[in-house]
Chain A
Amino acid sequence: MARRTQVSTRLNGNDIDFLCEPQQSLLEVLRDELKLTGTKEGCNNGNCGACSVILNGRLVDSCCVLAVEAEGAEITTIEGIAKNGQLHALQQAFLDEAALQCGICTPGLIVASKALLDSNPNPSEQEIRFWLAGNLCRCTGYDKIVRAVQKAGRQLQEAKQ
């Protein structure tokens, strides 16, 4: 077994430490070491987005990031989207618009959508679809997901005014 490294990172607003081996992915450590199982494994090779997290403000597939690379970084997972028990507008919109069925892709989609709205608060339908192309969903056909993101975007814009 390779030597375990200590990694310090800021996860969902909290400063934490963990031990990991160099070859462990961030996805693996989030789920197996930190017990944050909201981030899912769908393909383990960057093609489905079920493992989406936000790393230093950018949307990434955590299966394509080594846990050691989290050193000094700021990470947001699905567990950090709701604040103080209050659902984010996206989460509420997914519920209201029935934008989930089995729910396995939902954490990744919500994280990816949040990253979208953070960088582009008023995306068009095409921009939403392009941004979310890396998040596969097999249940919904994407229609209600796109509508939920549009709705949340509008609500967040209105809240600012």
Chain B
Amino acid sequence: MTTVERSQYKVIGTRPVRPDGVEKVTGKALFGADVQPAGLIHGRVLRSPHAHARILRIDTSEAEKLPGVLAVVTHADFPKTVARVEQLGESTINTNEVGENVLASSKVLYRGHAVAAVAAASRMVADEALKHIRVDYEVLPPVLNVIDAMRDDAPILNELLRTRSMGGKVGDKPTNIAAYNQFKGGDVESAFAAADAVVEHEFTTSMVHQGYIEPQTSTANWNADDNITIWTSTQGAFGVRGLTAQILKHPISKVRVIPMEIGGGFGGKSPVYLDPVAALLSKKSGRPVKMTMSRAEVFEGTGPTSGTVIRVKAAVKDGRLTAVKADLRYEAGAFPGSSVGAGAMCMLGPYIVENFEIETYDVVVNKPKTAAYRAPGAQPAAFACESVIDELCTKLDLDPLEFRLKNSAKEGTRQVTGLPFGRIGCEEVVQAALSSPHYLSPIEGPNRGRGVASGFWFNGGMQSSVVVAVNVDGTVNLIEGSADIGGTRASLGMQLAETLSLPFEAIRTSVVDTDSIGHNDVTGGSRTTFASGMAVHEAGLDIQRQMCARAARLWGCPPEDVFYEEGVLHCRTDSTRELTFAELARQSARTGGPIVGKASLSARGAGPAYATHVVDVEVDPETGKVSILRYTAVQDAGTAIHPAYVEGQMQGAVVQGIGWALNEEYYFSEDGRMLNSSYLDYRMPTALDVPMIDTIIVEVPNPGHPYGVRGVGEVPIVPPLAAVANAIAAATGHRFTDLPISPRRVVETLHNLD
């Protein structure tokens, strides 16, 4: 497949207003909670107050009798199903465990774990009814961090869980260690022995939340003919359809999922929480049921990302990174499946390292089941690795960016998985950071420091299908099934416009429901502009072929004589023959009927992405407050389809990373209650907490995509944790190895207060 040369793009690289923009700035766009079918009633969820307990008995009889209550459900209302392991976005899931997480049957495994649900005439009545559901618990001791959970005497969450290792090996005793894996190459011990410098640290990061401003919401209507309609806030309508159908043992053809506009996801809205419950409540009550989480429920009842304990030891000789040994332990939450594997596979992505040994542990703890958070698994691993590399550079008086350039991964470099890289932009990104105005400017003043860090993310491909319909006025409908969480209506419309040599305004893009398009995997893994874009390109070529055949019919010449160029159809053998796209479209009916093209694929050839960030901070030594003075994010986008939205992805991810580095954390009591489950005390950056975020887009086109696209949404959240920590190390002389580097932590450390 050839990549179209950059200079020939007419639409790609421009900055049109996004198609859903006017609706969003006027408040007319419909998000999940905005839908209000006739007869709507409201559902609310009863959640476990205990972090770990057996459910002895659930008595819903009192609640059912309350006036205004129309239905009550528990796990007992789900049909018995057989477990299946499936791919959901960037995670692998066990569908039985999903059902257990949606409504607990015999055990509650975290505070906030859903236990029952009620549908009533109003939210107030539903909330009142929850108080009348009696649950008898046998409270068990909780385990709240990976170290405690891995001890032999730890409370066990699931007696049936055994450790799985690569190669199919399964452990033989009850454990909280769901999986153990190892990536090995070369001989780390010899490299350590021969090194000029070796640095080793243990790092910890806290559980954090994606923080999307829109809480989960689902409205379901179960008709008497057993057709279910679900309006939901999701990153993947087909995922919701599949999981809901599986949990309810219902044919997927009778489940229609309508993805509403989504108010942020970042990976946290790929899983399913409310949809099967709302559907069941609708079945029992005969009414459409809307369920929307409160902010506290979002924190306590959805999927934050893992807290971690990571040990990294690295060696440098003659300016080369010669060995990295790492031990990664990630919290999976209540059920197995953290992203520790991705962490291991990404942490060395920016480097050539011959000797490595990485061990990974996926550990269940009594906290909410973790979900993907934007490059899931990569950020804590990069925090640890990039911090150690930073310290090695400081020790050996090496410029940290020159070091990264010298040790940069290139095309052909083998990853820890053994697979070699194709064409990548790692060097180009580091070089751009090195020559950036930010890096070239001096940093001056007391208590100030500069930090850099790199990051890597593989990016995904997966399944997409699109349909393209030509309208008689020469405009085109693009029908696609990828939830638009970052501007993909624009990036996909632009790729189709480019393929058809039409102006962007001629393309009308719609994100449709699961009845209206073939399967599309979740919008996640930075895959949509890449994979759905590939499909759009193919569908565009399909339209071109059909247009040529129609023109051939009109002109009475062989189809192979007709070609399409710059929006006009020509005849090779007769230069007087010419039709524009619009002119031919007008004649669809006479030339054979509506012109509709399609493409569906499981995309291969995703291009990995690299990012290198530079940040200047100032630390108030008396209060421990860290201020971000200046931030530059450099990233390889392959080809930036819509540069403003690429910049936006970079800037948003950077600010999430800053929050993660400095202030965000789940603060648990000793008995496993999250104490800060509100935006007051779960402290995400406000507009006043960050400066302008400068962005530099590097373009090393991905040969695997017709327009050279590399996913952009995830890699920019990988470097900030280390970049900020490295800057603080430079400013204070102290290396903080535990996140968040909150003012409390800084001041207690610098002033020896604890």
Contact = CB atoms under 8 A, between A and B. Distances in A.
Q: Is chain B in direct contact with chain A in the complex (CB below 8 A)?
A: yes
Interface of A: 23, 31-32, 35-45, 47-48, 50, 77-79, 81-82, 87, 91, 94-98, 100-107, 110, 125, 128-130, 132-147
Interface in B167-181: none
B544 interface: no
A37 B27 contact: yes
B266 A138 contact: yes
Contacts of A41: 33, 215, 292
Contact of A134 (B214, B486, B686): B686
B264 interface: yes
Interface string B353-378: 00000000000000000000000000
A143 B30 CA distance: 25
21 contacts: A31-B33, A40-B263, A41-B215, A43-B295, A87-B22, A87-B26, A95-B21, A98-B487, A98-B648, A101-B648, A102-B214, A102-B262, A104-B213, A104-B264, A105-B213, A133-B687, A133-B688, A136-B679, A138-B652, A143-B651, A144-B644
Contacts of A141: 648, 651-656, 690, 693
Task: Identify which of A43, A82, A98, A130 gathers the most chain B CB atoms within 10 Å of its CB.
Answer: A98
B249 interface: no
Given A107-B25, A141-B693, 14 more contacts: A43-B678, A50-B213, A82-B26, A87-B22, A98-B487, A102-B212, A104-B31, A106-B24, A133-B687, A134-B686, A137-B687, A139-B264, A139-B652, A142-B685
Contacts of A31: 33-34
Interface string B689-703: 110110000000000
A7 B688 CA distance: 37
B647 interface: yes
Contacts of A107: 25, 27
Interface of B: 15, 17-18, 20-22, 24-31, 33-34, 36, 124, 210-215, 261-266, 292, 294-295, 485-487, 644-645, 647-649, 651-656, 678-680, 684-690, 692-693
A2 to B, nearest CB: 10
Contacts of B653: 141
B305 to A, nearest CB: 14
B295 A42 contact: yes
Contacts of A81: 26
A52 to B, nearest CB: 11
Contacts of A32: 36
Contacts of A105: 213, 263
Choose among A47, A82, A87, A104 the residue with the greatest number of B CB atoms under 10 Å from its CB.
Answer: A104
B27 A47 contact: no
B213 A87 contact: no
A129 B687 contact: yes
Contacts of B680: 45, 47
Given A104-B264, A133-B688, A39 B15 contact: no
A46 B170 CA distance: 50
Contact of B485 (A37, A97, A101, A134): A101
Contact of B686 (A36, A45, A136, A140): A136
A137 B654 CA distance: 13
Contacts of A143: 647, 651, 692-693
Nearest to B17: A95
B486 A139 contact: yes
Nearest to B642: A98
A144 B648 contact: yes
A45 B681 CA distance: 12
Given A47-B679, A91-B26, A146 B687 contact: yes
Nearest to A43: B295
Max chain A C-beta neighbours (<10 A), residue from B27, B261, B645: B27
A128 B690 CA distance: 12
A98 B29 contact: no
A37 B17 CA distance: 23
Most chain A CB inside 10 Å of its own CB: which residue of B215, B656, B689 = B215
Nearest to A48: B679
B24 A100 contact: yes
Contacts of B22: 87, 91, 95
Contacts of B215: 41-42
A141 B374 CA distance: 15
B28 A101 contact: no
Given A47-B679, A105-B213, A139-B652, A98 B645 contact: yes
A135 B687 contact: yes
Contacts of B292: 41
Nearest to B295: A43
Contacts of A104: 31, 212-214, 261, 263-264
B330 to A, nearest CB: 23
Contacts of A137: 213, 687
B556 to A, nearest CB: 47
Contacts of B213: 40, 42, 48, 50, 102, 104-105, 136-138
Given A95-B17, A103-B263, A138-B652, A37 B30 contact: yes
A79 B27 contact: yes
B27 A77 contact: yes
Contacts of A101: 485-487, 645, 648-649, 652
